[in-house]
Amino acid sequence: MKIITPTLYLKGTFNGWGLDTPFTENGLNCFSASVVFSVDTHKFKIADMDGREEWTFSAHPTKATALDLDDTTQLIHTQGIGNDLTFSPSQTGRYTLHLDLSSDTPTLTIVLAENGAETASTRGLESYSLAITTGELPRLAAVNHALDPQDLFDTLAIESDRPFPYVFGDNVDGYYEGRALSFSCGDRYRHHQGWHLGGFGSYVDGQLNDKNAANKARLLPYGIEHQFESSSDILSLVQNQRLVCLTVHTTTKSTLSIVPELNLPLNHTYVEQHDGVLVYTLETEYCPEGCPRFIAISANQAVTANEVSFATHPELNQVMHLARENTKLMLTSQASTDLLTVYLSFEHDKEKAVASAKNAAIDHGFVRHQQKLYQFLTHSYLWSDDIEYNRAVMWARLSSRTFVSHEFGTGIWAGLPWFKDCWGRDTFIALSGTSLANGEFDEAKAIIENFAAMQMTDKQSKNYGRIPNRVTSKTNIIYNTTDGTPWMIREILEYINYSGDLAFAHKMYPVVARFIEGVENNYLDEDGLMKHRHPDTWMDAKINGQIPWSPRGPKANDIQALWFESLQCAILLAELIDDEESQAKWRAMADKVKESFVQKFWNENTLQLADRLNAGDTPDYSVRPNQLMTLTIPQHNALISDSIGAHIVKNSVSTLLFPWGICSLDQHHTDFHPYHDNRSEYHKDAAYHNGTIWGWNAGFTVTALAQYQQQDFAYTLSKNLAKQILEQGHRGTMSENLDAYQQDPSQLVETGTYAQAWSVSEYARNAQQDYLGFKPKLLEGVIELAPALPTQWRTATATLPYGEKSTLNVHYERVDNTQVYLLSATQAESDVKLKVRLTGSPNEQVEITCDLTLPLEVKIDNGEVSLSREVEQFNRVAKPHFPELDTLYFAQPDIRLKHRSLESKDYLLKQREAENLELAKD
């Protein structure tokens, strides 16, 4: 009997868990899918479009299952995380997966695909001559305070002669993930759903440049470059468009060709020419929902565009592994040249696609793309004499742009590949380093407005006043987070302070007030602290979507810090708009929070801060990194004293901070899990917040260390993270997680998403806000600069954006015991005050207040301070000293410890189920 099935898809790591590998029926209740697998370990499931449980298949309810070639594996209906099918082929090639649903027990078999006949064209292979009159080739323009464009790009280049993965974003709704030095057919430009462009091949005088045999690859800010004996090629994904540039360059003029890997079925596309632009239109039923139907192709010179076949170009099959059924298009220069550039535009509207491709050719879009990236990198700029650190910061900033999208309004994706949606918490933790530190103030404002528009306004709802936790589509919005809204409120204030947009304070004031009212109605305890469910903090993993793996309710320390900060922000906004009544009320509430927090969380006898309060307000002293956020979240008024803060830093760092990152739980704790993924002893979510290292936690760790005069210690961590960014995993970015225990620090085991927004944004933020100490407070008409420079630095130059079009320019030099700071603003401003705090001697700091109408030079020579002009204030103050931090050190994995997570199968699962915790189903 025939089973009525929806379209099933192979969803996995090789295709971003997307819908671009459908199964096709080839017999009664039998299906097959064809895919090119590289030599790697691939994880996947089989599921329908929506991933419904009745149409999601794997082989085990909780554990991963390895598949062998030619063996048949029984499948079950199951969802879950960490229970994927895995396949590790010994050779790169095209494989066929046979899914059999004809019996009560579904099965899957993987075989090496046969070299079947190439799909014959029912419309004939097309040939076109394309020509567009292009404008004059522009030169890249430099700025005075930074390296020239080519020098900067070359310095930032990440080079290797071995394959490595990388990713770029288009800032619309897609991203490009690829692997250098291979034709693995895993390269994909992924749209909202599906893909049309994979990799590409370049030719010189009819010979294919084989990426498998390239001399080396370079990841550049504007694309991925492969270098051959006398030529090179580059793929670039242009920002804020669905536009790709493919180029081939030679040292001598030659006949050059480019073959893009097009995922366009030959017999289900229409092709035509429009004013020098070639346009492919995909039949509607073969275009995934949300994927562009129109692909427009142009070039920077006259080219011949020929649809070719394996018969005339067998290397397209044997080397590039192009699909038999897809269009194979070769674009060849009509005259000898040393540079051929091809543009591909992907749009939902044909006219828009044509215009985009044509304008890119006319205006030399590839060069314009480079210029825009250079402007981005130099608008907010830091360059010290530590080149490795400079490169890591620049790449963290570049990588943060990967996640900015306009899929559902302006937002920041949480991570790739499987967190390609906007999470309220993640967005606003990432906003500072992604948008504000880069001077992208309009973008930051749009992101805040987008989420504020989705605030729950139903007073009868428990979520009244909250913004969404996650936005997956315009209708799929959930509010299950306590901290998302206070993080947004914090960033509202930080945006105003960076931009000076005081009018925005009036617009956001009702949003802030509504949140406080919602807390008062639903979550405020008698002690002034804020209550919440166990999994509604950032440590939110749940067993089967119901039982928390890491219960932190009803009062977690970071939640109280965020609640305190929300009240502080509200007080400042109320003062601005003259709401004295609310200001007085909120100040009293904030005072009560501060009093209760210290009284209930801080243990004066043991000098420990509780991670949370249990029911009945009994403290849980589990050592987690969250306590550091009680120091770093408040922007104006501290929640706790400096003396308590010093102990918090010491306890956290000496217990949790390994050289490669800070653990989410003390390794001596009963619930500690030393490894995250691929363990037979437990589900990976058991370890997610119970030992596993999170990249973004390094951000507030560095902030806390710098706050307590420990910048050199912090810089050691930053340098270790720099190697992660530049040398490991997807180059130029940071993963979501790391195993807590590592065998080889030079080959770290990365887990979770391969690229995570808040990981890189926090790294970028540290450079500006912590080491440079730059904190605009334009709500008060002040720019604060309190550098905590690593002693390793001898020179540093920075350009720091604030206000509408202003920058603070900082130049630093140190020779022996003499330090010189040169400070100036691009716009002479008398209404903005600069407040500077510098270390004058080991025991003394100097505080300077001046206007920004003229440059100021500060020279510190063996404690003697001289100024180049008169200032409004000059004070010498004692430098804070925290003796308990004098011997700070990194923790190290103690491999002698016995961990229940490794000794007793599913220990924590059984423990949580036995605790009868309140269910938290959303």
What would the 3-class secondary structure string for 857-919 be? EEEEECCEEEECCCCCEEEEEECCCCHHHCCCCCCCCCCCCCCHHHHCCCHHHHHHHHCCCCC
pLDDT confidence of residue 3: 78
Share of the chain above pLDDT 90, in %: 84
Residue 274, H or E segment:
strand 269-274
Averaged pLDDT, 605-617: 97
Burial 98-119 (b: 16+ CB within 10 A, else e): bbbbeeeebbbbbeebeeeebe
pLDDT confidence of residue 304: 98
The answer to whether the CB of 290 falls within 8 A of the CB of 193 is: yes
pLDDT at 32 exceeding the cut of 90: yes
Three-state SS letters, 790-828 = CCCCCEEEEEEEECCCEEEEEEEEEECCEEEEEEEECCC
**Which tens digits make up the pLDDT trace of 230-274?**
999 999 999 999 999 999 999 999 999 999 999 999 999 999 999
Averaged pLDDT, 762-787: 98
pLDDT confidence of residue 248: 99
Residue 118: pLDDT band by 50, 70, 90 thresholds? confident
Which whole-number Å values give the CA distances from 712 to 357, 390, 788, in the listed order?
50, 16, 9
pLDDT at 754 exceeding the cut of 80: yes
pLDDT confidence of residue 1: 67
**Distance separating alpha carbons of residues 369 and 606, to the nearest angstrom:** 57
Say which residue, 91 or 309, is predicted with more confidence: 309
pLDDT confidence of residue 864: 94
**Which tens digits make up the pLDDT trace of 458-468?**
999 999 999 99
Averaged pLDDT, 815-828: 94
pLDDT confidence of residue 476: 66
pLDDT confidence of residue 719: 98
Report cis status (omega within 30 of 0) of the bond before 554: yes
Q: CB under 8 Å to 599, separation ≥6 — which residues?
A: none
Q: Model pTM?
A: 0.92
pLDDT at 57 exceeding the cut of 90: yes
Short-list 191, 209, 192, 174, CA closest to 200: 209
Place of tokens 């790009």: 153
The answer to whether the CB of 638 falls within 8 A of the CB of 649 is: no
pLDDT confidence of residue 94: 78
End-to-end alpha carbon distance in the chain: 38
Domains of the chain: 9-112 (2.60.40), 127-135+147-377 (2.70.98), 380-771+898-915 (1.50.10.10), 774-885 (2.60.420)
pLDDT at 332 exceeding the cut of 80: yes
pLDDT at 288 exceeding the cut of 90: no
Three-state SS letters, 27-80 = ECCEEEEEEEECCCCEEEEEECCCCCHHHEEECCCCCCEEECCCCEEECEECCC
Residue 573: pLDDT band by 50, 70, 90 thresholds? very high
> Encoding tokens for residue 143?
């700025």
pLDDT confidence of residue 116: 63
Averaged pLDDT score across all residues of the chain: 94
**Distance separating alpha carbons of residues 691 and 674, to the nearest angstrom:** 6
Place of tokens 């599921």: 47
> How many other C-beta atoms lie within 10 A of the C-beta of residue 546?
13
pLDDT confidence of residue 796: 98
pLDDT confidence of residue 80: 72
Short-list 476, 388, 494, 485, CA closest to 437: 494
Averaged pLDDT, 202-225: 98
pLDDT confidence of residue 119: 76
Averaged pLDDT, 602-614: 98
Pairing outcome for strands 750-751 and 404-405: unpaired
Residue 89: pLDDT band by 50, 70, 90 thresholds? confident
pLDDT confidence of residue 894: 97
Short-list 76, 85, 101, CA closest to 11: 85
pLDDT confidence of residue 580: 97
pLDDT at 92 exceeding the cut of 70: no
Short-list 334, 284, 319, 300, CA closest to 129: 334
SS3 state at 754: coil
